A and B are shown apart, each in its own frame.
Chain A
């Protein structure tokens, strides 16, 4: 059962007010902030539209109110214990105030990751292999992910796919789809350009914030391939 969201007492009293204020300031410094939050009528339309609110103790209204009131204590609690329940469907973009609670949550998540909050690490536990896949291959979902142990709830069908994977991939008419480790065939030059983008945009710092081991493996893979392609680049 999903846990009840505890907002009554100051659960994070060990964290200083300065730190909570600093993290909220990081949210407000995001260029998107002024376009996604205009205040809140407290009408609850976002909650009515929200899928996560039906199954979790979760409320986009609560989040919108907290950030509109700049209640940094509550914001810190929500940044830790609530934002990862969001489905990022953006049904809440129906907000009559013009807010996008979903995007407010995206920004809060980004700040949580960047600052290496433990709750962000927990929320992304088991997710590292996906980050590895997308960042190293340029294709997030691949045929070889369809393994019974990864998707036991998808039934026997996944066994059939895993058993026949090689032949079924070859029995796809587009030549680009005869791949197993990526969704389609991706050029070497394309991957190199992607690695250069990760390097230039500082994305690897975010990975370091949540998973040092994953960061190390990714850096190894990327630096080696970049070197082979003639780039002397270090991700520090």
Chain B
């Protein structure tokens, strides 16, 4: 068992000073390009919240008027992930937009198969940003890979005039402008920035819960300076994402030695070479978490990470590995803390590893809540209602 304190990774204090950042602030260059007529910057709508990034720069996080750039993997395979994000917005009465004029970022495919190119990738990104801008909302990115990828696209567009020209031409032919958001914001940053407000409305005590956190690679390794850091969390030696949210909910976040490792997703591997994904996920993540921290749950903030860490445990169990650790997204944990329904909202039946012991530990009546969800399904099956609505889910 490793006994690392969570609040400070060491006695050494890492001083965050934006003046000493080794990189330029990309936003200055963006605004300069806007002045030169090269592109248009989508401003973060007010009111916004402020968080600190790796070198201490302030990142603006919109409270509302958010355009939800959904994730194909979340919506397709673990839909309660996105549903929980929407539920949180609704619970706070915030104005948000769930678009149908949106495609995947296509980065999963690109990282898996390389059957695309930088122009196509950038054009897909800007088409989505333009769709958000046209309806007057600001993009909030649900997927960790889309987030990392869009940050890279933004970076490339600023530094590569030829790419900018090509994408501007493509957008012109689509009747759109080359628009780039002032900030690329991941939903987990929004959850983090909202954490005190979420905690104020917490109805489920989580102070007896221990969790481990898996920070998604593409969140904090791609354009790493744009990830959220906080000197109170791990002494700013690593990103505060997810951990800060869980701590605000009273959860004990336990450390483990392989926190930097990926989940094993591999992009290509999870689809056509899953032996790698399973082995890595079980041996380098789940077993290590169980052995070193023995948490009740592991929490992450990306599509692929939730899927890989969760689904890989089936084979791990067959091999008598130390598995059996429920996996959820921070949005689900936050919604649960505020009293969201575990099946109607969190949609936990789409997850694989048994999460009932965790729910019971929180005092949630699993049988009753499942029966409530089943009753909705029965009405749909009997043709008495077409869909379950938000009103049904919020009852």
| Chain A, Cβ-Cβ closest to B391 | A173
Q: Are B173 and A196 in contact (CB under 8 A)?
A: yes
> Which among B79, B108, B170 is the interface contact of A197 at CB below 8 angstroms?
B170
For B262, list chain A residues within 8 Å (CB): 51, 87, 89, 91
**8 Å CB contacts to A: which residues of B344-395?**
344-345, 347, 349-350, 352, 373, 376-377, 380-381, 386-390, 392-393
Q: Are A55 and B79 in contact (CB under 8 A)?
A: no
Q: Are A90 and B119 in contact (CB under 8 A)?
A: no
Q: Is A40 an interface residue (CB 8 A)?
A: no
Centre residue among A87, A160, A173 by max chain B CB count within 10 A: A173
Q: Are B111 and A88 in contact (CB under 8 A)?
A: yes
Q: Are B83 and A174 in contact (CB under 8 A)?
A: yes
> Which among B87, B278, B390, B393 is the interface contact of A153 at CB below 8 angstroms?
B278
- Among A3-11, A17-25, A69-77, A134-142, the one that faces the other chain is A134-142
For A178, list chain B residues within 8 Å (CB): 387
Q: Are B170 and A130 in contact (CB under 8 A)?
A: no
Q: Is B266 an interface residue (CB 8 A)?
A: yes
Please give the distance in Å from A209's CB to the nearest CB on chain B: 8
A90 touching B217 in the complex, CB below 8 Å, given contacts A127-B112, A184-B100: yes
**8 Å CB contacts to B: which residues of A59-80?**
none
For A172, list chain B residues within 8 Å (CB): 79, 83, 347, 387-388
Q: Are B386 and A203 in contact (CB under 8 A)?
A: no
C-beta contact mask, B302-337 vs A, less than 8 Å → 1, else 0?
Answer: 000000000100110000000000000000000000
> Which among A93, A154, A201 is the interface contact of B352 at CB below 8 angstroms?
A154
| Chain B, Cβ-Cβ closest to A124 | B113
A167 touching B266 in the complex, CB below 8 Å, given contacts A140-B108, A143-B77, A174-B98: no
Q: Is A183 an interface residue (CB 8 A)?
A: yes
For B260, list chain A residues within 8 Å (CB): 49, 91
Please give the distance in Å from B150's CB to the nearest CB on chain A: 14
For B156, list chain A residues within 8 Å (CB): 32
How many Å lie between the Cα of A203 and that of B114 in the bound state? 10
How many Å lie between the Cα of A134 and that of B120 in the bound state? 13
Q: Are B120 and A127 in contact (CB under 8 A)?
A: no
Q: Are A202 and B117 in contact (CB under 8 A)?
A: yes
A194 touching B103 in the complex, CB below 8 Å, given contacts A127-B268, A177-B83: yes
For B315, list chain A residues within 8 Å (CB): 153
Q: Is A230 an interface residue (CB 8 A)?
A: no
Q: Are A140 and B82 in contact (CB under 8 A)?
A: no
Please give the distance in Å from A150's CB to the nearest CB on chain B: 9
A91 touching B261 in the complex, CB below 8 Å, given contacts A140-B73, A193-B174: yes
Number of interface residues of B (CB under 8 A): 90
Q: Are A151 and B311 in contact (CB under 8 A)?
A: yes
C-beta contact mask, A78-104 vs B, less than 8 Å → 1, else 0?
Answer: 000000100111110110000000000
Q: Are A93 and B76 in contact (CB under 8 A)?
A: no
How many Å lie between the Cα of A9 and that of B291 in the bound state? 43
How many Å lie between the Cα of A31 and that of B102 in the bound state? 28
Q: Is A235 an interface residue (CB 8 A)?
A: no
For A153, list chain B residues within 8 Å (CB): 274, 278, 311, 314-315
Q: Is B34 an interface residue (CB 8 A)?
A: no
How many Å lie between the Cα of A174 and that of B88 in the bound state? 13
How many Å lie between the Cα of A187 and that of B156 in the bound state? 28
**8 Å CB contacts to B: which residues of A136-166?**
138-143, 145-146, 151, 153-155, 157, 160-161, 164
Please give the distance in Å from A25's CB to the nearest CB on chain B: 17
C-beta contact mask, B98-109 vs A, less than 8 Å → 1, else 0?
Answer: 111111101011
Q: Are A170 and B388 in contact (CB under 8 A)?
A: yes
Q: Are A200 and B173 in contact (CB under 8 A)?
A: yes
How many Å lie between the Cα of A91 and that of B284 in the bound state? 14
Please give the distance in Å from B29's CB to the nearest CB on chain A: 15
C-beta contact mask, B213-228 vs A, less than 8 Å → 1, else 0?
Answer: 0000110011010000
Residues of A participating in the B interface, judged by any CB pair closer than 8 Å: 31-32, 35, 49, 51-52, 54-56, 84, 87-91, 93-94, 106, 109-110, 112-113, 120, 123-127, 130-131, 134-135, 138-143, 145-146, 151, 153-155, 157, 160-161, 164, 167-178, 182-187, 189-191, 193-194, 196-198, 200-203, 206-207, 210
In addition to A32-B118, A88-B111, A153-B274, 4 A-B residue pairs with Cβ atoms within 8 Å of each other are A138-B103, A141-B72, A177-B82, A183-B71
Of the A-B pairs whose beta carbons lie under 8 Å apart in the complex, a sample of 6, sorted by A's number, is: A87-B269, A139-B104, A141-B75, A173-B345, A176-B100, A190-B131
